[in-house]
Structure 1
Amino acid sequence: MGLGREQEVEIRKPPQFMPGERVRATRHVKNDGTYPGKDVGENLVRKGDEGYVRDIGTFLQQFYIYAVEWIDRGTVVGMRARELTSLDDVAASGTAGRAATTDFSERPGL
């Protein structure tokens, strides 16, 4: 009988997305009551919306939370990696989504 808690500690690995990276939502995201000025249950992000990662934080010392600015909506919403796919990879490689983990050895200062 498990607690339904995710076992993987995501922050042991590098983030999947970096600030400035263009992303697309893979799921609808509704307000759970933590987004100010919106009703509980109101749509914050729709599947297919495109935006840019502005910042990276953590939650429960386990997960990365990506602050994504959704340009068409004029909002910034915290998103999990499983709710996003990179569009920068699509433009560079012509494939959908991120095929492998990011290699940080080529990025100075990281």
Structure 2
Amino acid sequence: MADIARDDDELEIAAPPRFRMGERVVSRSVIRNDGTYNGRDVGEVLVHKGEVGFVTSIGTFLQQFYIYAVEFIDSGHRVGMRAKELCTLDHLPDEVLAQLGDKAALLQRLR
């Protein structure tokens, strides 16, 4: 059995979760089935980079990390993800919204 990477000494659950229930998030990377998603082949893409979803629940893993269950709109998949794999769409800084220009208005329509 492979060793589980614990990302050195990070204890993420010592702080509050980074995301909240119902918060809109976007995937920062491609997520493939590691064998824990039933009905799909191992290695099959479940979530594409940039895919938008909503946090539906928050759990923990290894008493160290938060795992966010995210329901993705386009694919319909509900996938468990770490905070480092996600970016919020609901709490973007003003300077980021300014850089998005017209695309910022599109984000508002996703609500």
TM-score band, normalised by shorter chain: 0.7 to 0.9
Equivalent pair of 2:29/2:48 in contact (CA under 8 Å) = yes
Aligned with 2:86 (options 84, 87, 95): 84
- Aligned equivalent of 1:32: 34
Deviations 1:51-85 (A, max 9, x none): 00011000010000000000111111000000000
Mapping of residues 60-99 of structure 1, within 5 Å: 60-90=62-92, 93-95=94-96
Classify the secondary structure of the residue corresponding to 2:13.
helix
Unpaired runs of at least 5, structure 1: 97-110
Aligned to 1:11: 13
Percent of residue pairs identical: 57
Q: In structure 2, what is the Cα distance between the partners aligned to 1:30 and 1:57?
A: 20
More helix by proportion, 1 or 2? 2
Count of residue correspondences: 93
Shift >2 Å, 4+ stretches: none
Q: Which stretches in structure 2 are left out of the alignment for 5+ residues?
A: 98-111
